[in-house]
Every structure is written in C-alpha cells, then in structure tokens.
Amino acid sequence: MIQLNNIEKYYANKGVKSYILRHVTTTIKQGEFVSIMGPSGAGKSTLLNIIGMLEEPTYGTYEFLGEDVTTLNERKRIELYRNHIGFVFQAYHLIDEMTVYENIEAPLLYKKIGSSERASRIADLLDRFNIVAKKDLFPNQLSGGQQQLVGIARALAAQPSIILADEPTGNLQSAQADEIMNLFKKLNQEDGITIIQVTHSEKNATYGNRILHIADGVVKDDVKVIV
Amino acid sequence: MFKLNLKIALRNLWKNKTSSFINVIGLAIGLAACLMLLLYVSYEWNFDKQAKNWKNVYMAMTNVPGEGNKIAGTFNGSTTALGPLLKQNLPEVKYVARMDYGKKSLIANGQNSYKKDSKFAEPDILKMYDYQFISGDPKTALQNPLSVILTESTAKTLFGTVDVLSKSVRYQDKENLTITGVVKDLPENSSNRFDFLMPWSFYEIVDPSAKELNWNNYSFVTMVSLNPDANIDLVNRKVEALVKANTPQTPQSQPHFLYQTSKLHLFGKFENGKPAGGDIEQIWLFMGLAFGILLIACINFMNMATAKSEKRAKEVGIKKTIGANRTSLIFQFLTESMVLTLVAVVMAIALLEICLPAFNGLLNINLGISYFNTASWIGILGIVIATGLIAGSYPAFYLSSFNPIQTLKRNIKSRGILTVSLRQVLVIGQFCFAIILIISTLVIYRQIQYIKNKPVGFDVNALVEIPQDGELKTKFDLFKTEMLKSGAVTSMYQSSVSLSHRGRNFMDMKWDGMTNPQNTVMFNQVATSYDFIKTNGIKLLQGRDFSKNFASDTSAVMVSASAVKVFGYKNPIGKKVIVFGSNAHIVGVFDDYVWDSPYKSNNPQVVYLTTGQTGVITMRLNNSNNLQSNIETINKITKAFNPAYPTEITFINSLYQEKYKSEKTLGILSNLFGGLAIFVSCLGLFGLVAYSAEQRTKEFGVRKVLGASVANLMQLLSLSFIKMIVAAIIVAVPISYFAMGKWLNNFEFHTEISWWIIPVAALGTLSMALITVSFQAYKTAKANPVDALKYE
C-alpha cells in the first residue's frame, strides 16, 4: 500500500544541510499496524507527515496505493484525505467551535455524503465509542481521553483505509491510553484498517505487529512483533 | 455544510465578544454612513426626474457675453419672445411653456389669507410635468385666465378639504380666481415647485408688458419639450441661428441654448458657456467620505481577522487534513463576514432611523427609508454583499492558504514580512484618512470664521425688511411718515431689491472716456428712494445721499467705489454716466459692501432714485425702544395699511447668516464624518492591541518575572502602534495641506492654513490613539504574571 524509496529530508540553513531523514526505504502493506519509535528529534513525526503528505520529501519517491504521490497538487491530495487517510493527533485537534457530533460530521460533509447516510454513520460511531451522551458537548467540556475518542471517531467517519496517528496517547493517562490502544488494535484486526502510529512507549508499540526504529533520521531496525 | 458554517460563524461571533463588538459597531457606523449617503445621492440624483418624459424636457439658457469674445455667465432666464419663436420654427419642439420665476404671493379664501409660492405658466407645462390631479381636468385647467391650480396642502390650509373644485380664491387681494384643479403635493426634489399655479394668460393681465414679445427682459423661464428622437446639438445650432436671424445683433446680444432641466440641479455651473460641474462635486465628496468610513470599518475587520490568524490557523489545518479544500474554507470565512455584515446592517438601519431627523434638519431636506420599495432593499443588499466581500475576502484567502502541517505545528510565526506589513499599511491608511479629515475640518472652520469676521460693509444689526406688498407700493410715503412718527424706526427706504440679493446685473452702461465702444463689465443696479445711506449705514466715501433738497436728484446716481474704479474717474462727484440710455450724474460714492456672495468681490453697483420700482422696505429700528415693542408697532402699522396681507418681518442679519449656510453644512458634515472616522479607526486599533496583548501574555509574564516594570511593558506594547500613527501623520499632512490649499483657492477671499492646525491635528490623533492603546496595554501589563504563565 505504501512504498517509500530512498526518502530524504533536510533543511538548508546558510549552506549547511541539517538532515531529518536519510535514505528511508520501506514498504507498508495493507492491514499492517506499524509503530514508528525512536528518541526525540529522530525524525519520527517527519516520516509520518511525509506518509500523510503533509510534508514533501526533499528527495526520493513515495507511492501510495500504487500511485506516485511524491509531489501532488492540493486537489488530489485532499481527494486522498477524503477517501483514504484519517489523522489522529497527540493534541486531538478537534475544532473548538463544533460540538462532538459536528466534529465527526465534518469529514462526511466535505465528502458530500447524504444526510441520512451521515446520520447513521455518526450514530454508529457514537454508539461504538460510547459517547452518545456527549454528542452535543464542545471539546473543552470533555476529558483528554474522551477528546481523543472523538478524534479517532472523526478519523474513522470517512471510512479510511489507513489511519496515521502521531503519539495518539502522548497527552493521556495510562488507563485512557490502554483504552485507545486497544481500540486501535481492534480496528486493525476486525476492520482491517492499516494503522501507522508514532510512539515513545514500548508498551504501546506492542499493540501493533511491526516496529520501525528510527535514530538520527535513519531506519535502524525493522522488527516484527511476535505476540 | 452551509448550515454548519452559519452555526459556527454565529458561535464564533458570540465567543469573541470584544472583536465581534468592534467589528459590528464599526461596520454598523460605516454602513449607516453609507446608507445615509445613498439616500441623499438618490434624492439629489432624481432631482426633476419624476415626470415620465423628463429626458425630453429642456430649459432655455442664456449666455451673457463678456470681455474678449468670452462668455461671462450663463443663466436660465429668457425673454417672452423666445418661446413663441421656437414653437413656430422648430419642428423638433413638441411643447413650449413660458413661466415666471415664481414668488410668494397672497392667496385668500375670505379672511383666511396666506402668502404662498405662486407661479404662472402656459398650459403646456402640464404635459411636461406629470402632476397628479386629484380633481379637475389637466386639459382645461389653465384655459381660462382667471383660474388656478392648487396643491393638496394649499387646498387644505385654505379650505380644510381638497374638495374645492370651482370654488374661488382671491389673488393678491385683487382678483378672484376659480379653482380648476387640485394636484398632489409636488416632490421636494423638484426645482419647479409651487403652492398654486396660475395661467400665463392671467400673468399678461397682471403685467401687461408680458403680452408683447420682447427681447430685453430676461425675467422669465422658457421650458421646451422636444421629440424623443431630437438631436440636442442639432437643435441648439438651430436655436442659435433662429435667434440670430430674428433679433438685431449687437456685442451685447445674448445667445440661447437648451439644457436638460434635470441637469440644472447637479450640473448647473457653467464656464464660458460650457457645463462645468456644479453641486455634483459635493455629491462626490460626500460619497468619498461615507465609503471611506465603510472602508475603515472593513479594514478593521480584515486586521482583526488576520491578527486572529494564529487561532484560526489550527482550525484551517485540521479541516484540511479531514478533507476540506480551499474553496470550502473560503466559503466558510466569507459566510462569517457576511453574517457579521448582516448583523451590522440591522444595527445600521436602526442607527439611520435615529440619526435621519438630525441629518434632515442639517441639510434641510426630507429623507426617509422607503421600506416597501424593492429598489431600496436591493441597494441595501448590494451594499451588504459588497461590504461582506471586501471585508471578508482578504482574510478568507489569507487564512485558507495556510499549510496544514505548519499550522498544526504552531509554526505560524514565520508569517513573512509581507503580510505583517500589509496590516501596518492598512492601519496607516485608516489613520491617514482620519487625519486628513481632521485637518480639513479645521481649515473649513477657519475659513468660515474668517468670512464671518470679515465686515460686510454696514451694521447688519437693528435692520429689518418687509416685502412691499399691496397698499405699501402706492402709499409708501404715508407709510414712512406714520412709521417715523411711531418712533419704532429711525429711518427707512424702499428699494427694488433687498440689501442681500442676487442678480439684477446689467451692462447697458456708458461713461466718459470708455475705451471699448460697448461696456462689457457687469454692473448691479438698485433702485431706491430717499434715506438709502442714512438707513443702511453703508460708508459714504465721497459726496452725499439722495436728498429732497436737490430736485435734480431724480437723475442722480450713487455708485460703489469699485464702479468708480471701472469708470476711471479721479473726481467722480458730478461726473456723467449713461444708465440704460438716460443721462445721470454721480452725487455720491459709497464703499463696496457684501450683497451677494461673501466669498468673492461683488460686481460694481449703481444706485438710482426712482419711486416706480418697488420691492422691499428696509428699516432701521429705534434702539431706544425694546425690540419687541418695535416689532409690534411695525406689525400694527403695516396691518393697518395692508389688512389682507400677513406681515413678514425679516432681520437682515439672519439673511447674512444664510450666506454661510452651504460652507457651514460642509463644515458640520466633515466634522461628523471626521469624528466617525477617528472613532472607527481607534476601535480597530483597540482590537489590534487587545489581540497583540493576548498573544504576548506569556512573554509579558516572563518579562515581569524578570523584573520589567509596568511602564516598560506598556512602552513595549504601545511603541509599534504609535510608530504607525506617526507614519500616518507624515503621509497625511502634505496631502491635506495640498488639498485644502486648493479648496481655499476656490474662494477669492480666503484665509491661510495656519501653522498650528497641523500640530493640533497630529497631536489630537496621536493622543486619541495613545489613550486607546495604553488602556489595553496597562491592563495587560498589570496582570499577574502567574496567570499568564499558567497557560502552558
């Protein structure tokens, strides 16, 4: 599903190149649950952003679903966001002015899905994540864990084939973190959704089935998780 | 989608109360100013355009030749002979109607008598103006000489009802006229208004000289209605040729041309016989002012929206990652600005309703919002959409262009120099406009003060005038004796015109040693009786006032100092001049006084003695009695002479006050708009400072912990804003200096721009801005650092 070839990313500052990523080559198949790990500043988030097409690599090629997406115009990229990619952020990034219900509805509106279909999908998600009672609340009225649940529900609303999560539990207490990670695992196993997460925590990484270790912009290790 | 956008827009409005308040108030003021102006412009623009075929209605204009083949002036008077000539010889002419200029005359139903605006006109006038007849037949209403058409309100004042057809009213206490029609009241924006209209055939009875077709007396108006397909240039060439062929040609012959009647109001200024603008310039000015204020309010919105960008950027980033494209984001931001503008326009209409009466009083007009008129709603909607687009488009395009990853990383600080400086440029622009308005206001005020303080040439106080009506025309000498005996006045005279008057200019003047065979200098004429100088107190430079002791004074004239200059006489007393072909000798020279515009030097004047030309009686009140008893005495004696007429006593000083009216209005309006501009600009500045303070809360907390004083912090926050105001002052001062210098040059008599005006305007603006900024700065600087640092 994802094919990265020799990806490099650097910033040139006064003629000095500071590398973030070097020679990253990897393949991620449909249905995998990949955790990207490494120390701070290793380039984990940059890699995830490149996979999410939020950043462009300075060098190398990137194929998504067999299509070269290394440089993509905005319209095509948004098309991919609408249909294939869901984002989950460490800081949740819910829209403060919208209620829980509206936050989940937003991607469906952009995808121009009919109102009855929309209502049923949202009802389904609210039900599944046990947040029906919270649907008319605003994000700042929810706890962190609840906010992240809404964030994931929003990412799932458009029925993406892949979820990109940047430290999804970084701001959460461990009990809530476990809940979120179990949810991811379930989504991966039962719905077959590809998940790529960036994480600091060894424990969180074990929920997945593959770990990419990154240090100083280079993939040091690519291991399968054996349960 | 739209519904959600709308909901979010409303929530955003509610959440950010300060900025919403600033935006709504600012926009409401701007919109109110704009709507008010739109009303005013449509009122002025539709002047004389009520009739169905207003496009084809023309007025005969007359060019007055001046020195060296130039045209000295153009006016809308014509002779009695012109109309019939055009009607007979021009195939393009459909209707012709001769009229008089109209004046106040007495109309009475029994004892119930009033002085109302009267007019005489030929019957074809009814085909040019679509007067709406409540009763009577427009075809026959002006057929009979002794008939009259009343307006609805005249009928009501005289009879208490509009059902007055075939009843009779008495005109000038002389003739009984039969009412042949009642028309709806005429629109206020018409230059051809009357309270009652009488047939031209009746005028020929009142003034038999009007019966003969003469080419000398230009006291009439000739209205011409052309065929719709007539080419006006061609017609005008024919008119000129026709008049040339039918009148003896001298250098003083005054050529005619036709001019669209509706244009006369806004494009009524002529230079060398060609149209050269007119009141339309004032309309442009008002338009500029109102749109300027609206623009300032729009700039406020833009600045606030982009200042808030850090907050909004996150939202943009998230939406982009969940599939929003740029178009949908632009639409969302535009929806927000539209919602805001809609809220503002509701407030603006309320504001307008509150302010209109005052505005109407100021300009002496009667404007109102016609709520049931689709055109006015389309106009309002148009303004709302335009405002929403102008205010919203820049923020919409700016915010929607954010790259999601930068915004989510809170990396917006690297906004680039360009956008920041654009905001600064906008603020500088706002304040430039405000400062220019302040300086203009001060200069206009100074100019009015200057003209007011300039002596008019005589003591305007204690002088009153009354119109010379009815018996006062024939029994003036008796009236004068009675008046003087009563002790209410110390002296009085009759004259053809009031001390303050327009027109009555002529050129038929000869004197010894003339260089040209024909005179081309405009003179002004006043016909008077004895005691002219004694009463009005104009300074006599040489010679004497007219006196009964000199029988020869019937052929004597007094001339103004500027007239003597034209004649070139060293010792003018006793010298000969020829006025209208008859010999006269100069007995006195008086100093020039202001009788027309106080802004320029008036034409040289000739005053001659005749009992025939009546018009106005001017009296000097006796200062040893109190004013009220003087007025009562005058009233009583006048009423005894003229029982049919109401007495109208006018104070000369109020007449002279009138002369400053248009500049005074300009002064008040620029004051008002200048104040509004400053207010709205400061509102915007306040918003910007508030946001800048909010953004820097953490920085301020840290600085405070490190030992910065309140003063340090205030300086830190205020300085960048003050710099912008200073820049605005630097830009605005030369512009306004130049513009106002040009404005002042329009007046022959004008003040100079005093040096102190500029520092006053600059310091005024600066201190206003400083107060605005420091209020917020102080609040931020005083805040407890712990609160600020707790944020993260």
| Interface pTM, i.e. ipTM | 0.81
* Same domain? B644 vs B742: no
A94 touches chain B (CB under 8 A): yes
- Structural domain contains residue B607: yes
Interface test with A, best of B322, B407, B792 (most A CBs within 10 A): B322
pLDDT of residue B417: 47
Which member of A74, A81, A96 has the closest CB to residue B322? Answer: A81
* Same domain? B289 vs B257: no
Cα angle: B752, vertex B758, B762; to 5 degrees: 165
B325 and A110: CB-CB below 8 Å? yes
- Structural domain contains residue B637: yes
A111 touches chain B (CB under 8 A): yes
A198 touches chain B (CB under 8 A): no
CATH no. for residue A63? 3.40.50.300
Amino acid identity, position A95 = I
| Contact call for residues B461 and B618 (beta carbons, < 8 A) | no
B328 touches chain A (CB under 8 A): yes
Which are the contacts of B441, defined by CB distance < 8 A and separation ≥ 6?
Answer: B667, B670, B671, B674
Which member of A54, A107, A109 has the closest CB to residue B404? Answer: A54
B4 and A82: CB-CB below 8 Å? no
A-B CB pairs within 8 A amount to 63
* Same domain? B554 vs B579: yes
A50 touches chain B (CB under 8 A): no
Which member of B1, B11, B314 has the closest CB to residue A93? Answer: B314
Report how many domains make up chain A.
1
* Same domain? B549 vs B636: yes
Which member of B12, B322, B325 has the closest CB to residue A97? Answer: B12
Report how many domains make up chain B.
4
Burial of B789 (0-12, 13-18, 19+ CB in 10 A): middle
Task: Give the percent of chain A with pLDDT over 70.
Answer: 100
* Same domain? B648 vs B694: no
A111 and B15: CB-CB below 8 Å? no
- Structural domain contains residue B575: yes
A49 and B405: CB-CB below 8 Å? yes
Structure tokens at A137: 């609340």
B321 and A105: CB-CB below 8 Å? no
B324 and A78: CB-CB below 8 Å? yes
Chain B residues within an 8 Å CB radius of A54: 321, 404-405, 408
pLDDT of residue B414: 45
Mean pLDDT, consecutive 10-residue stretches, chain B (792 aa), reads 81 82 88 86 86 89 80 86 90 92 88 89 90 89 92 92 91 90 89 91 89 85 91 90 84 84 88 83 84 87 79 82 85 88 92 89 79 81 89 85 69 48 83 87 86 85 88 88 90 90 81 80 88 89 89 89 89 88 90 87 89 87 89 90 86 86 78 82 83 76 76 81 88 91 87 86 86 81 67 40
The Cα–Cα gap between A152 and B318 comes to 13
Amino acid identity, position B719 = L
pLDDT of residue B775: 82
H or E, element range at B24: helix B17-45
B325 touches chain A (CB under 8 A): yes
Mean pLDDT for the stretch of residues A77-101: 88
* Same domain? B668 vs B653: no
- Structural domain contains residue B405: yes
Task: Using CA coordinates, name the residue in chain B closest to A56.
Answer: B405
Q: Which of B202, B231, B261 is the last residue of a domain?
A: B261
A78 and B4: CB-CB below 8 Å? no
Shortest distance between the Cα of A52 and any Cα of chain B, in A, equals: 9
Residue range(s) defining the domain that contains residue A10? 2-224
A158 and B1: CB-CB below 8 Å? no
A19 touches chain B (CB under 8 A): no
B322 touches chain A (CB under 8 A): yes
pLDDT of residue B416: 46
Mean pLDDT for the stretch of residues A134-138: 92
* Same domain? B561 vs B700: no
Chain A residues within an 8 Å CB radius of B4: 98, 102, 105-106, 109
Of B736, B735, B728, B714, which is closest to residue B684 (Cα–Cα)? Answer: B728
pLDDT band at A100 (very low <50, low <70, confident <90, very high): very high
* Same domain? B78 vs B225: yes
Q: Which of B657, B686, B721 is the last residue of a domain?
A: B657
A106 and B319: CB-CB below 8 Å? yes
Of B518, B426, B473, B359, which is closest to residue B724 (Cα–Cα)? Answer: B426
The Cα–Cα gap between B671 and B639 comes to 45
Of B109, B268, B122, B129, which is closest to residue B190 (Cα–Cα)? Answer: B129
Mean pLDDT for the stretch of residues A13-23: 85
- Structural domain contains residue B426: no
* Same domain? B566 vs B649: yes
* Same domain? B286 vs B378: yes
Residue B654 CA: distances (Å) to CA of B634, B660, B669: 18, 10, 22
Burial of B31 (0-12, 13-18, 19+ CB in 10 A): buried
> In which order are the strands placed within the sheet that holds A85-88?
A85-88, A162-166, A194-198, A33-37, A210-215, A218-224
Residue range(s) defining the domain that contains residue B198? 54-261
